[in-house]
Structures are given as structure tokens and as C-alpha cells.
Amino acid sequence: MGLFLSQLRDLWSEKGRVGWVALGVAWGTLSLTLLVGFGSSFVRGANTTIENFGVNLLRIGGGATTRPHKGMSAGRPIRLRPEDEPWLQSQVPEAEAVALEYSSGSGNPVRYGEQQVNAPLSGCGSAFLELRGMIPQSGGRFINAMDVEQHRRVCFLGHRTKQRLFGDAAAVGALVEIDGAPFTVIGVRVPTVTVASYNGDDRDKVCIPHTTFRDLRGWTGISFLFVKLQDPDMKRRLIRSVYTALGARHGFDARDEDALDVQDYLAIQDMVNGMLDGNRYFNGIVGFFGLLVAMLGVMNVMHAMVEERSSEIGLCMALGATPRDVAQERVVEGLLVTLLGGALGLATCAGLMALIRQVPLEAEVRAYLGDPVLSMELGLVVVLILALAGCVAGWFPARRAAALDPISTLREE
Amino acid sequence: MTMIEMHAITREYSTAGAVVRALVDTDLTVEAGEYVSILGPSGSGKSTLMHILGCLDSPTSGTYHFEGRDVSRLNRTEMAHVRNQGIGFVFQRFHLLPRSTALENVATPLRFARWKPKRRRQRAQDLLERVGLADRLSHRPAELSGGQQQRVAIARALAMSPRLLLADEPTGNLDTQAGAEIIELLEEVNREGTTVMVVTHDGALSERTPRVVRMLDGKIETVTGLSR
């Protein structure tokens, strides 16, 4: 304890130089924890936008044939039908789930009292809850099998449409008009940003049971079939199976790629994951060099600090300090300075991240920025590495001074 | 009892390609409890002799026995213990730790001897009272006069109750009054049984020591007075 206090006092008397070492450690710790904190947060955010849309999905729409098939000419449009959903489910074992959707773009009037918005409209089933991440806010629910079976006039609102119609007031239980018909709001989607969108933004989308949609609009054909893969590696095989199954049903050649419009969300998913991997490597390289620069800075100043005090080391040796005492004092000194700097860096990082979490940002920016949090484990590892560098840099000149006769270093003064 | 026994001690330094012989073939024996002054002009080897006596420097050749132990056979840790427990050294330029108070400076050798903080504080305080600095405990060296700094240095040298006190021109940087006080202090320490050896240019100081070693060109020229 005596040694510790004496070292603290010694350090305090060298505030300037100690400040530079501590600042070096603080800077190294701060930049690395910020880099990793934001990097991880970006990865989490990007993954969340993928999960919000739905993972391992293919969206199948109708296309037009380009090959004659069984006496039918090329150029024939393919219209998908509701019955394709159970058919595909039974014919494609690689699919974990299949769900149909009627989708109408952004021009569908939705009214609540005096408020009216034009929103994208989706006719879907209960499978969308899992498949497309239609997670309701508390107090509400998504469309269920009974709603579909009984053609109920219920709707599930995207959170931005809800906000535009209701503001901060509760929406669940309220009656809205869609295409002039009354619908009961059964739920509101949690605020989300998705990695992809089609026929309007998910945050605006209004979902109703697909049976009700068909009643309302009289559509005979569906817009899309969503297929979720059990195993992303089976994608090629699954697509072949889809073409074969639907080709047999709609009368087109299974090799005719344009007969269907296949939107591959797995490819988007892979692209984002590739970018995230690149980001990880980049962060790793920048972090490594940042740590290296901080280490060199700390080592340089610690080395100079101990070199300058070699006459004091000689004096302590003259008064009976053993080489071990000398080395120990330098190690304690190095530890104190680096721990001080490390604590400063970690505290600053935690403060900055807390501040950033409070800053009001656009939902899209927030979705990718995420909520950065301080990685205490990483911070401690960085402080430990810098502490080790500081101790080593102080220990070597101290050991050299301690290996000389005390008078050699005293004479230098 | 023989405290110091030096035989054929030579100390050479290499400077800019030339070898300087600071001490040549020196023999010296000092009994426990003696009060010895070492006189000689600058460059005569007085300080080098004192540094070797205080185990602060190693001879190039020859043997040095301190209290019967061959110092050249000790490792660095054992040497540190001899410097800590057996020998107190007072430097001409005081050599106090600039960032430490008078109390902490005096307590430094006690710290290396692993004394408990409370006990070493009490011991350092007693010693500073003894050298007349009871009111300067918390002062740093820069806040003390030359005489006061030298008294702190003597208190520090006495901290571990050494059997041998070496003082290298302890009055060299002091005015007459302060120098006289230091001389009285050294005599008092010797009267209490500590062997004291003082390097000095001061004739008045050497006249008060029973034994005088005169040096010239790295050799002991004469030794007057008898060893007890």
C-alpha cells in the first residue's frame, strides 16, 4: 500500500508526461471500443433488418412463357392462383413454409374519421406472422386462421400508417375504412425497418385476410407465393422443384425461367452478410493498427519517463533497493498510468454511446446504427494489452539501470 | 573488530579510448567505531574510494571485506541488503528524491527494508527531530536550505542504524554555520558507536578526526593516527 501511494504521488508530480501516457491509453481504448461497439451494432442492426423482412425467403410471382409447351405458344402469361399454395406445399419438400399474398401497391385509401392515407394493401394468412415478421405491438395480434376462414373484416396496420391515422391514440379495436368498407383494427406492427420491400414500404402496409381481400377486390389470381427454405444450401434444388411443380400445374416448361418471376431474397441476405464480413475485416485491420499505434505511443513515453529517472533508480539502489524492487516500482507505475488511461477511455466510450443512443435519428439511420453498447470485455483486453506494453517499456530501462553499479546512474545526474 | 579490510584495490575507467586509473593498488583497514577523514586534492581518488567502501561501485581488481564478508562475492540482491542494512551514505550533492517530502526521503531505506508504514513514519519523524527538522517533515527538498537538505540526507543515512556511515564532502556545498552543525552531528553519531568516514577538503574537520587518510593520484599517501 505504501509503495502504491508513493507511486501515485510520484505520478502526480509528473502530471504532464503521465497525462500523455494516460491519454495514449485512453485514446487507444476509446477508438477501439468505439470501432467495435459501432461495428457490432451495425452488424446487429443489419441482421435485424433481414430478420424483420424474413429470412431464407423466395418470392414467386407469375411471368410469361418464352418457350412453346405441349401445343401452347410462347408469350403466354402465367397467373398464380390461391390453390397453388397447398399444391406447392405438397410438391416441394425442401420448403419449410409456403404462403400466398394478394398485394396492391400504395394507392389504397384507408380512412379513420377525418384522417385518410393511401397505403399498400396486402391479403395474406396467419403464416405471414412468422414468415414476414409481422410482429404485433403489445395489446394487438396478427391475422389468424379463423379470420381467414370466416372472411373477417379485420386489419393489421403498419406502424407508420397507424401513426398517420391515429397519432399517439390507441388503434386496436377502432374501425377504419378500406375501399369504403369497415374493418376492425386487430393489431399494429412493431416499428421496424426491413432490408427489402416490394409494392410499398412494410411500415405502411395494411394486412387483411386473403379471403377478405378476394371478396373485396374480386381478384382470382394471387400476386405472390412466398417460400421459406429449410436449408439455404438447397436453394437451387428448391427453385427447380418450384418450376417443375408449377410448370405441371400451369402448363409451362420447367426449364422456362421467365415463366415465373422469382425474387431471391437469399441473394440480398448473402450480399448484406458479405458486406458485414467486409466490415468485420476492415474493423479488425483498423483496430489492429490503432492498437499498434497506441502501444507504440505508450511504450515510447513510458520508456522516456523511466530513462529520465535513471538517476533516481541509482539513488534507490544506493539506499538498498534490490533489482526486484526497482522493476516492481516501474511495473506498478506502468499499471497505474495505463489503468487510469484505460478507465478514462472506457468511461468516455460509455458516455459517448449513451449520448448517441439519446440522439433522435431517422428510423432508417437508427436501424443500421443500432444501439451501440460498450464491450467491456474488449475494453479490458485493450487496457490489458496497453498496460502490458507500458510495463514492458518501463521495465527494460529500469532493469538496465538496476544492473549497473548505483554510482554509474547517480553520476549521470 | 575489523570493519573494513581493503587489499590491492584498483579502479580503472575507460574514457574516450584512454584508461584512467582512479584508484591504484590501495590497502586500507578500518576498525569498528573509528572516525576517519580522507583528505586529498580533486582527482586524488577520495570519492572513488568512498564509493567502493559504500558498495556503490565495484573495484577493477583487489579484495574488499566488509565486516568479514568478501563483497565481490555477493550478488546484486545481497549487495543491496549490505547497502540498506550496513552502510549509510551521505552525498555532497545531497541526492534527495525531489518529489518526496523530507519524511518520505528519510523513510525510503526503511521502505526497501519492508518496514510497516506506521513504524517507518515514526522512525523517520524521530530522526528528523534529532537533526533539528521536526518542523520540516512535509517540506520537499526544493523548499529546504542546503544545510537542511544535508541534515535530511544524514537522517536518511542513519535510518537503518548502519554500522558504517560514509560522508562524501558533506559540508562542501554548505556555509560555515551549516557545515559546523553537520560536523557536530557526525561526531555525535560516531560517539554513539557508528564508524564514520568522511571525505573532506576541510582542514578543520580533519583535525577533529583521530585518523586522517591522505590521498594523492589514486593512492593512499599517508595515514596519520592509529586505528583503535
Q: Is B136 helix (H, G, I), strand (E, B) or coil?
A: helix
- Cell 410448370 belongs to A247
Of the candidates B32, B60, B45, B57, the residue with the CA atom closest to the CA atom of residue B214:
B45
Beta-strand runs (E) in A113-180: 115-124, 154-157, 175-178
d(CA A229, CA A252): 23
Among all residues of chain A, which has the CA nearest to that of B47?
A407
Domains within chain B, CATH numbers bracketed:
35-55+75-224 (3.40.50.300)
Q: Do B83 and A10 touch (CB under 8 A)?
A: no
DSSP string, A165-225: HHTTS--TT-EEEETTEEEEEEEEBPP---S--SSS-TTT-EEEEHHHHHHHH---S-SEE
- The more confident residue out of A301 and A234 is A234
On average, the pLDDT of chain B sits at: 91
> In this structure, which long-range contacts are made by residues A68-73, counting pairs with CB atoms below 8 Å and at least 24 apart in sequence?
A69/A251, A69/A252, A69/A253, A69/A256, A70/A251, A72/A251, A72/A252
Distance from CA of B57 to the nearest CA of A (A): 5
With contacts defined as CB-CB under 8 Å, which chain A residues touch B56? Answer: 318, 405-407, 410
Q: Which residues contact B153 (CB under 8 A, 6 or more apart)?
A: B90, B91, B94, B95, B96, B105, B170
Q: What digits encode the pLDDT tens for the residues B19-65?
A: 889 999 999 999 999 999 999 988 899 999 999 999 999 999 999 99
Q: Is B4 helix (H, G, I), strand (E, B) or coil?
A: strand
d(CA A211, CA A233): 34
Is there a contact between B137 and B165 (Cβ–Cβ < 8 Å)? no
Beta strand pairing status for B87-90 and B61-66? unpaired
What residues form DSSP beta bridges with B69?
A: B66
- Which candidate from B84, B97, B156 shows the least CB-CB separation from A312? B97
Among all residues of chain B, which has the CA nearest to that of A14?
B99
Q: What digits encode the pLDDT tens for the residues A162-183?
A: 999 999 999 999 999 998 999 9
Spatial strand order of the sheet with B61-66 comes to B18-31, B2-15, B61-66, B69-70
The pTM is what? 0.66
Instruction: Spell out the alpha helix ranges (H) of A77-127.
Output: 84-91
Question: Does pLDDT of A341 surpass 80?
Answer: yes
For chains A and B, what is the number of CB pairs under 8 angstroms? 73
Of the candidates A385, A2, A138, A22, the residue with the CA atom closest to the CA atom of residue B121:
A2
- Interface predicted TM-score (ipTM): 0.91
The letter for the amino acid at A319 is L
With contacts defined as CB-CB under 8 Å, which chain B residues touch A401? Answer: none
Question: Does pLDDT of B5 surpass 90?
Answer: yes
- Which candidate from A312, A325, A403 shows the least CB-CB separation from B112? A325
Q: What digits encode the pLDDT tens for the residues B68-81?
A: 999 989 999 999 99
Q: Is B154 helix (H, G, I), strand (E, B) or coil?
A: helix
Q: What is the pLDDT of residue B228?
A: 46
With contacts defined as CB-CB under 8 Å, which chain B residues touch A321? Answer: 80, 84, 112
Q: What is the pLDDT of residue A48?
A: 84
With contacts defined as CB-CB under 8 Å, which chain B residues touch A323? Answer: 76-77, 80
Average pLDDT over residues A327-344: 84
Beta-strand runs (E) in A47-180: 57-62, 95-112, 115-124, 154-157, 175-178
Beta strand pairing status for A224-229 and A95-112? antiparallel
Question: Does pLDDT of A2 surpass 70?
Answer: no
**Residue A62 to residues A76, A100, A104, B50: CA-CA distances in angstroms?**
11, 12, 15, 104
Q: Is A140 helix (H, G, I), strand (E, B) or coil?
A: coil
Average pLDDT over residues A363-373: 77
Residue A345 phi, psi (nearest 5): -65, -45
Question: Does pLDDT of A189 surpass 90?
Answer: yes
d(CA B85, CA B77): 12
Q: What digits encode the pLDDT tens for the residues A92-135?
A: 988 999 999 999 987 899 999 999 999 999 999 999 998 998 99
Average pLDDT over residues B183-198: 92
The rounded radius of gyration (Å) of the Cα atoms in chain B is 17
Q: Which of B83, B105, B110, B156 to mutate to test the interface with A (most CBs of A within 10 A)?
A: B83
